[in-house]
């Protein structure tokens, strides 16, 4: 867990470094008044100080939080990847089918095997999204190869 804490601190430092470098290229003061770079420089500096603090805490052994191990450890990346795939497929499938698909895939990844329940959930998602967003709020969803 300490490794994760240290990695977290390093990521905070890295983000601060990138933001600080970008902000340094912006004008700091314009006629005595903060320019576009003023606030970002200070925010990046604050983040960098915090990154150092987090690293010191991590090295001192202050470890919090727990990541899953074993089969459960793969569930989160698999769910994130499945969600990404469905977002990528939205222009081809249409939003409504994508909603049904994401329900089925995520339910399966979470270990659900009762197909009746999964299909009922997917149908509920599609009907709910259609009624609330497409019919009531008139949101122009992307339509897929089936035309809906």
By CB under 8 A, the residues from 56 to 75 that bind other proteins are: 56-57, 60, 62, 64-68, 72-73, 75
Among 117, 123, 127, 131, binds other proteins (CB under 8 A): 117
Rounded CA-CA distance 44/133 in Å is 39
Report residue 147: phi and psi, to 5°. 90, 5
Contact 123, 100 (CB under 8 A): yes
Of residues 26-45, those binding other proteins (CB under 8 A): 26-27, 29-30, 32-36, 38-40, 43-44
Q: Which residue, 142 or 148, is less far from other proteins as judged by CB?
A: 142
Q: Closer to other proteins at the Cβ: 70 or 147?
A: 70
Distance of CA 46 to the CA centre of its chain: 23
List 10, 15, 17, 143, residue binding other proteins (CB under 8 A): 15
Interface with other proteins, residue 116, by CB under 8 A: no
Distance separating alpha carbons of residues 48 and 39, to the nearest angstrom: 14
**Among candidate residues 56, 57, 44, 58, the one with its CA nearest the CA of residue 14:** 44
115 — phi, psi (to 5°)?
-60, -35
Which residue lies nearer to other proteins by CB, 66 or 145? Answer: 66
Q: Mark 84-113 with x for binding to other proteins (rule: CB under 8 A) and - for no binding.
A: x-xx--xx---x--xx--xxxxxx-xxxx-
């Amino acid at each position: 867990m300490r490794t994760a804490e240290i990695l977290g601190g390093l990521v905070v430092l890295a983000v601060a470094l990138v933001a600080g470098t970008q902000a340094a290229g912006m004008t700091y003061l314009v006629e005595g008044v903060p320019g576009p770079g003023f606030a970002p420089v200070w925010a990046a500096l604050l983040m960098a100080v915090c990154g150092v603090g987090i690293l010191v805490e991590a090295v001192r052994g202050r470890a919090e939080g727990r990541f899953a191990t074993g089969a459960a450890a793969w569930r989160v990346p698999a769910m994130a990847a499945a969600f990404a795939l469905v977002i990528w497929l939205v222009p081809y499938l249409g939003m409504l089918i994508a909603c049904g698909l994401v329900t089925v895939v995520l339910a399966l990844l979470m270990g659900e095997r009762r197909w009746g329940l999964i299909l009922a959930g997917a149908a509920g998602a599609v009907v709910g999204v259609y009624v609330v967003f497409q019919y009531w709020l008139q949101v122009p969803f992307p339509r897929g190869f089936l035309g809906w």
